Structure 1
């Protein structure tokens, strides 16, 4: 069994995150995913936030709950193998791991996305348009994005840092490694630079910092 948990829900709901984590662990799942709450336009939550009836997701609350999840799930035998996913031994998601490793994949059905190693393409999202295209023997692909070499390299770095495997030390200037380790955002293990939970909280900033850094060590 796999469970999805939402992090940083409005404080007005009065949720006890520690209790929820312990309850989830008590269900004995093999896998758990954490997702930060987002406020989507034209939803009841968006209306509540606009009226002041609910608070918007808070970065500080997210960080506090995320780090507590690492603590509680780690104590229960789960290993975070990706920024948002934790599993017991042998229970990692092979499907999602293919995305994070940059392997090609094919999506079937309306709005499904695919990747061939260099290009992303996605199908028509409207069911009727998708059905008519398939029935007529036409490709249901709506659009395609061809990645440049620079984009592919950026994705390789970003996806690598998302996972517990991290990236090679050769991909990270020595000065950045030292800064990150000193700040508690990363660790260097067997030639790999891996984010700590605190580092995962600022993943986008770390990748931006790394990709804007001079290439020299």
Structure 2
């Protein structure tokens, strides 16, 4: 058995990548496996074997969060979700108060399915709606329609799942004439406790990337991107949401605990094909393709695809970037204040004076310039 030992003694967060999808969305460049019939039993067994190979027992847990992402984890169905969570429970110490999130597409959500997922331990859903415009959904290659999205939310509530997040994509091509304000209004009307918004990006190895390369499709301009981002910021805040991270909004006390662990720099274990993990010193990622991951694990070999140790420069860059991503803010030193005052005057940040010192907190306008701001401050810190 070829094993690779993780250096961090304890992980309290697990990300499990479930690659299965009914269809590849036009914008998606994630590691997925399109399957008519999902081999959930084999998948659960392979996850269990990966846990054995990586010797996770004893240095994982008690788990504070578990996140089943993808792909489309809800494609595992009623039995598959339970089987995968049971596989994890056999290997790791489990905190029954942990947040257990399942990414789900509307077409997979029924009252019976949600009740079964809850019984298996899922206590939060992340529902991929993306739009309430049927033309836009068809263009995205989504399987559901707007009515199906609304039915899914109703089914989740009827089944007793009160904690759920709704995902939307903004900045779609101008020619689709998508009414972004109407999409936001429909999200507000459904009253979730969490909303995630993502700007559409063109990735080369996707249907959208090929359309773009052939000149058949064009990205939304920067002005539209900025307008829709700020419109979401204003409408969701007016509806009682806190814009607590670049792409995320939550009711008070309803922040996503798993993703918040990423942004705080906490170690987390990644399982499944293409899953990434972090042990506090290094990042590792698994073999990307499902078949190759399954085959490698089947030979009792660690399915690691690569590993990167963080240098001093890496740590500075990640600390700045992660700190500026959320309203928790980035601790700053006195020597940096003159530089940051210029940002504050431009309306990109505010300087919060707290009991533990001064923190730089991005405004919505600042988040639109996050990459540039983080790069500038990283260069300043690295040069010291």
Structure 2 length-normalised TM: 0.54
Number of aligned pairs? 217
Aligned-partner SS, 1:62: helix
SS at match of 1:143: strand
Q: Which residue of 1 aligns with 2:369?
A: 202
Distance, in Å, in 2 between the alignment partners of 1:8 and 1:57 is 6
**Are residue 141 (structure 1) and residue 308 (structure 2) matched?**
no
| Structure label with greater radius of gyration | 2
- Selected match of 2:279 from 106, 109, 116: 116
Give the aligned CA root-mean-square deviation in angstroms: 2.0
- 1:72 shift after superposition: 0.2
- 1 or 2 for the larger relative contact order (CA 8 Å, sep ≥6)? 2
Residue in 2 aligned with 1:132? 295
Pairs within 5 Å for 1:92-111: 92-111=255-274
* 1:109-160 deviation line (CA, Å, top 9, x unaligned): 1111110011011111222332233222221112111110221121011100
Q: Evaluate the alpha carbon distance shift between residue 213 and residue 27 of structure 1 in structure 2; reply closer, same or farther with a 3 A threshold.
A: same
| Cα distance in 2 for residues equivalent to 1:28 and 1:200 | 25
Contact in 1 for aligned 2:193/2:254 (Cα 8 Å)? yes
Kindly report which structure 2 residues correspond to 1:1-217, keeping only aligned pairs within 5 A, or say none. Answer: 1-170=164-333, 173-190=336-353, 191-213=358-380
Q: Whose strand proportion is higher, 1 or 2?
A: 2
| Residue 171 of structure 1: how far off its partner (Å) | 7.7
Query: Separation in 2 of the partners of 1:204 and 1:79?
Result: 22
Structure 2: runs of 5+ lacking an equivalent? 1-163
Displacement of 1:212 = 2.3
Structure 1 residues 43 and 154, CA, compared in 2 at 3 Å: closer, same or farther? closer
Shift of 1:41: 2.4
How far 1:188 sits from its partner (Å)?
1.1
Query: Runs of 4 or more off by more than 6 Å in structure 1?
Result: 214-217
Q: For 1:94-118, what per-residue CA distance to the aligned partner results, in whole angstroms no more than 9, with x for missing partners?
A: 1111110000000111111110011
The alpha-carbon deviation at position 50 of structure 1 amounts to 4.2
Q: TM-score, normalised by structure 1?
A: 0.93
> Separation in 1 of the partners of 2:365 and 2:287?
39
Q: Would the alpha carbon gap of residues 215 and 28 (structure 1) be closer, same or farther in structure 2, given more than 3 Å must change?
A: same
SS in structure 2 at match of 1:57:
coil
Report the Cα distance in structure 2 between the residues aligned to 1:105 and 1:194, rounded to whole angstroms: 25
Deviations 1:43-73 (A, max 9, x none): 4433443454432132111101000111000
Query: What is the SS of the residue equivalent to 1:192?
Result: strand
